[in-house]
Chain A
Amino acid sequence: MTGMDSQRHPIVTESDVVRVRQVVRTLAVAAKLSLVDQTKMVTAASELARNTLVYGGGGEMMIDLVDSGRRRGVRAVFIDTGPGIPDLDLALTEGWTSGSGLGLGLTGSRRLVDEFAIDSSPGVGTTVRVVKWSR
């Protein structure tokens, strides 16, 4: 899997969440994702960007096109330096929610993408990496 020039977008305000959606849509179209897959990827990005803003206290998204040789895809990485998630397993349990919708954001967006990796340490921050491949 090789990446091409990666873009960096801050997630500091609510309107950044809207911009993230637009950027992800543009790259999803460029990767030739189907309309449904575009919608899934943009929705997942919207959830994750809001998590970054609300629970991570802001951060950024790195996004690029990836190529596995056979398929193209979009990769987005959401990074914050917030409080982190103390119990990742719990946060990724189906149906679990922190009370303000965090659970659905993580487990839900995991179902919307093809690859999902999360790394979080309390006090250091959270990084979520997602990839959606063209079919």
Chain B
Amino acid sequence: MDRIPILKMGNLLLVSIQVDLHDQLALDLQDDLSERIVATGARGVLIDISALEIVDSFIGRMLSTIASLSRLLDAETVVVGMRPAVAITLVELGLYMPGVRTALTLEHGLALLGAEVRVSRSDEDEIDDAQGDREPDGLAGYAPVRAGPGGGEPATTGAASRGDGGRTGDR
């Protein structure tokens, strides 16, 4: 049984749906993604649907469910690349996918997640500072995401140290 591949990039998970989704494949993706979010401690999920020629209520609900699931697991989901014809059809269908954040392109999606995570990072800064046990290395884990909107540091440095150090830092 084939499955939709999930790529890890820094503290993000990247899913590009390239096939005509049948229902079981969609359900599998839901399961696989939540497992991977927990296993990798990812803070963001990007789902590229630019290859999808249609999104019906089933796929729309899948995207909503993934967004809610990942939010519970402390990761923000952004759906990118929805085609105009698909968007027009969804509006006509009355399916507005509440709770699903969208972005025009992968780049915009990265920027959106970058802004999100940066906010939560500065919150942690305050707490860490107050407790006086701030670990500079632990926070480096957010570097790839911070680089999103303006460009900046290469993504790989952060990704390497992210896995364990970052996780303990933010408890």
Q: Which A residues have a C-beta under 8 Å from some C-beta of B?
A: 14-15, 17-18, 21-22, 25, 35-36, 38-40, 42-43, 46-47, 50, 94-95, 101, 104-105, 107-109, 111-112
Closest B residue by C-beta to A39: B85
Does B86 have its Cβ within 8 Å of any Cβ on chain A? yes
Query: Within 8 Å CB of A36, what residues of B?
Result: 84-85, 88-89
Task: Kindly count the residue-residue contacts between A and B in the assembled complex, taking CB atoms under 8 Å apart.
Answer: 68
**Contact status of A46 and B94, CB under 8 A, knowing A14-B22, A22-B20, A35-B85:** no
Whether the Cβ atoms of A46 and B54 lie closer than 8 Å is yes
Residue in B22, B89, B95 whose beta carbon sits within 8 Å of that of A39 in the complex: B89
In the assembled complex, how far is the CB of residue A96 from the closest CB belonging to chain B, in whole angstroms?
11
Q: Could you pull out 19 A-B pairs where Cβ atoms are within 8 angstroms?
A: A14-B24, A17-B22, A36-B88, A39-B54, A39-B85, A39-B88, A39-B89, A40-B88, A40-B92, A43-B56, A46-B54, A46-B56, A50-B58, A94-B94, A104-B94, A108-B92, A109-B93, A111-B93, A111-B94
**Contact status of A101 and B53, CB under 8 A, knowing A14-B23, A40-B92, A111-B93:** no
Whether the Cβ atoms of A25 and B61 lie closer than 8 Å is no
Query: Within 8 Å CB of B57, what residues of A?
Result: 47, 101, 104-105, 108
Provide the bound-state CA to CA distance between A112 and B88, in Å: 10
Whether the Cβ atoms of A39 and B56 lie closer than 8 Å is no
Whether the Cβ atoms of B94 and A108 lie closer than 8 Å is yes
Query: Within 8 Å CB of B85, what residues of A?
Result: 35-36, 38-39
Query: Within 8 Å CB of A104, what residues of B?
Result: 57, 93-95
Query: Within 8 Å CB of A42, what residues of B?
Result: 53-54
Whether the Cβ atoms of A108 and B20 lie closer than 8 Å is no
Query: Within 8 Å CB of A17, what residues of B?
Result: 22-23
Does B159 have its Cβ within 8 Å of any Cβ on chain A? no
Instruction: Determine the interface band of chain B, counting residues with CB < 8 A from chain A.
Output: 20 to 34
In the assembled complex, how far is the CB of residue B56 from the closest CB belonging to chain A, in whole angstroms?
4
Chain B positions 69-83 with a Cβ under 8 Å from a chain A Cβ: 83
Task: Given contact pairs A25-B53, A50-B23, A101-B58, enumerate 13 new A-B contacts (beta carbons under 8 Å).
Answer: A14-B22, A21-B20, A22-B20, A36-B84, A39-B83, A40-B88, A40-B89, A50-B56, A101-B57, A104-B93, A104-B94, A107-B94, A108-B93
Q: Mark B95-106, 1 if CB is under 8 A from A, else 0.
A: 100000000000
In the assembled complex, how far is the CB of residue B88 from the closest CB belonging to chain A, in whole angstroms?
5
**Contact status of A112 and B93, CB under 8 A, knowing A39-B53, A42-B53, A47-B56:** yes
Query: Within 8 Å CB of B58, what residues of A?
Result: 46, 50, 101
Whether the Cβ atoms of A112 and B20 lie closer than 8 Å is no
In the assembled complex, how far is the CB of residue B96 from the closest CB belonging to chain A, in whole angstroms?
11
Chain B positions 15-70 with a Cβ under 8 Å from a chain A Cβ: 20-24, 53-58, 61
